[in-house]
Amino acid sequence: MSKDFQHLIDLNDYPVSWWSKVIELGHDIKNNPQKYSDVCKGKIMATLFYEPSTRTQMSFQSAMIRLGGNIIGFDNPTTSSVSKGENLKDTTKVISSYADVLVIRHPCEGASKAASLTSDCPVINAGDGGHLHPTQTLTDLLTLMEEKGRLDNLTVGLCGDLKNGRTVHSLCKALSCYPNNQFVFISTEDLKLPAYVKDVLTVNNCKFTEVSSLDESISNLDVLYMTRIQKERFSSEEEYLAEKDTYILDRKKMLNASRDMIVLHPLPRVEEISVEVDDDERALYFKQAEYGVYIRMALIATILNAKTILPNLIGQTYIGVVCTNPKCITNYEDYLPKSFRGIGDIVECEYCDERVLLR
Ligand code: NCD
């Protein structure tokens, strides 16, 4: 079943040295775009977007076109055979014979991992449910490098929907691999960071605090990463409305931030940053979105020229054991081999990282 390609499912599957190379390439592409204008000539990238997207999809498409390649794909599953009930395996299998790289966004957690098992070309995870978003993290890392000049010794505040925000999960996991980064997690009780992400920080000896007030924490930050409350991940409208306007960054709050704190946001912004903040020179979210094109150019070029590969599934199957995360792709697509990492009574689903009790 498994195919050998350099997929990007989770950044933490790769060593920091690999990320550094992609970031350095992104930096060079930003400064010398003409050098790269035909490095993907004759190649095709397919975008399979089962969930709405503006920046991720278009920046990938723009990136491939700027590298001299071509693009195909869908951004509305209702106009593809998905609406006829086709499973992810068949769609992926077929489109991977039409393209040289697949970029997949899907509402189920672990969907890109699942697609990578049967794809005949590399798969890039462009967001799998509330789980991970590694290419947004590469964008964020390039932005930090360009704008702060470093990826270490940073105090980063993350505010908003830390439970469902996949950009937050990927970014924290990545920044915890650099020395002396600290995190301030600013959220309501119900939207706190998942335990598995906190455990990664603990294993990497990263200091973090969990607080509820943005006002009280803003003055100590080098970076403030605002996020949208992820309406589509809530089970009811009432639950969403209860959380919706808890955190709003405005000009008044910015008065308490340091002169060199930068404000990032993966976008789309809803109400969590007042439009008046856009004119503040510390508001870098639009620039961040532009960096997304350079880093995706670097990523596509890297993956299409990759020599080294990673194993697909490294975990084990246990008879009768299934993932307990109702949003995990393995609970939607029956043919997928279940696979769990770790030893002992509690193991982790290899697709979505859910903790599962064996006995
Ligand atoms: C984010 C996403 O889709 O997870 N957007 C993006 O990719 N730039 C954040 C969000 O939707 O809130």
> Which residue has the least CA distance to atom 12 on ligand 1?
228
Task: Summarize the confidence of residues 199-224 as an average pLDDT.
Answer: 97
Q: What is the pLDDT of residue 3?
A: 57
| E strand spans, 117-194 | 123-128, 155-159, 182-186
> Residues with catalytic annotation?
55-56, 84, 105, 133
Determine the Cα–Cα distance for residues 220 and 213; give it in Å rounded to an integer. 13
Location of structure tokens 């990320």: 19
Task: Name the residue type at position 128.
Answer: D
Question: Half-sphere exposure of residue 281, counting CA atoms within 13 Å on the CB side?
Answer: 4
- Has residue 64 got a pLDDT over 70? yes
Which has the minimum average pLDDT: 78-92, 165-179, 238-252, 292-306? 78-92
Nearest-CA neighbor of 123 among 100, 156, 148, 98?
Answer: 100
Which atom of ligand 1 is found nearest the CA of 139?
8
> Which residue has the least CA distance to atom 6 on ligand 1?
266
3-state secondary structure of 230: coil
Q: What is the pLDDT of residue 174?
A: 98
CA separation (Å) from 58 to 3, 47, 246, 265, 306?
Answer: 28, 10, 30, 17, 24
pLDDT cut 70: percent of the chain above it: 99
Q: What are phi and psi of 91, to 5 degrees?
A: -60, -50
- Has residue 221 got a pLDDT over 80? yes
Q: Radius of gyration of the chain from Cα atoms?
A: 20
CB 10 within 8 A of CB 125: yes
- Has residue 77 got a pLDDT over 90? no
Task: Summarize the confidence of residues 40-50 as an average pLDDT.
Answer: 97
Determine the Cα–Cα distance for residues 347 and 340; give it in Å rounded to an integer. 6
Determine the Cα–Cα distance for residues 208 and 186; give it in Å rounded to an integer. 11
The pLDDT tens digits of the residues spanning 13-42 come to 999 999 999 999 999 999 999 999 999 999
The pLDDT tens digits of the residues spanning 98-144 come to 999 999 999 999 999 999 999 999 999 999 999 999 999 999 999 99
**Which residues' Cβ are closer than 6 Å to ligand 1?**
55-56, 127, 133, 136, 166-167, 228, 266-268
Which atom of ligand 1 is found nearest the CA of 230?
12
CA separation (Å) from 125 to 63, 109, 158, 185, 351?
Answer: 16, 11, 22, 25, 12
Question: β-pairing, 262-264 with 155-159?
Answer: unpaired
The pLDDT tens digits of the residues spanning 297-343 come to 999 999 999 877 777 899 999 999 999 999 999 999 999 999 999 98
pTM score, whole prediction: 0.95
Nearest-CA neighbor of 135 among 327, 265, 298, 254?
Answer: 298
Q: What is the pLDDT of residue 317?
A: 95
Which atom of ligand 1 is found nearest the CA of 53?
3
CB atoms within 10 A of CB 273: 26
| Probe residue for ligand 1, chosen from 56, 139, 226, 231 as the CB with the greatest number of ligand atoms within 8 Å | 56
Determine the Cα–Cα distance for residues 265 and 124; give it in Å rounded to an integer. 21
| Probe residue for ligand 1, chosen from 143, 267, 273 as the CB with the greatest number of ligand atoms within 8 Å | 267
> Which residue has the least CA distance to atom 8 on ligand 1?
266
Determine the Cα–Cα distance for residues 25 and 30; give it in Å rounded to an integer. 9
1 CA to centre of ligand 1 in angstroms: 31
Q: What is the pLDDT of residue 2?
A: 47
Nearest-CA neighbor of 199 among 221, 178, 176, 165?
Answer: 176
Q: What is the pLDDT of residue 5?
A: 83
Which atom of ligand 1 is found nearest the CA of 51?
3
Q: Describe the strand order of the beta sheet including 223-226 as a list of residue ranges.
A: 207-211, 182-186, 155-159, 223-226, 262-264
140 CA to centre of ligand 1 in angstroms: 12
Task: Summarize the confidence of residues 4-11 as an average pLDDT.
Answer: 90
Determine the Cα–Cα distance for residues 112 and 129; give it in Å rounded to an integer. 10
Length of the chain equals: 359
Mean pLDDT of the chain: 95
Determine the Cα–Cα distance for residues 241 and 231; give it in Å rounded to an integer. 9
What contacts 278, CB < 8 A, 6 or more positions away?
286
The two structure tokens encoding residue 180: 């002396």
Location of structure tokens 């995190």: 183
Q: What is the pLDDT of residue 150?
A: 98
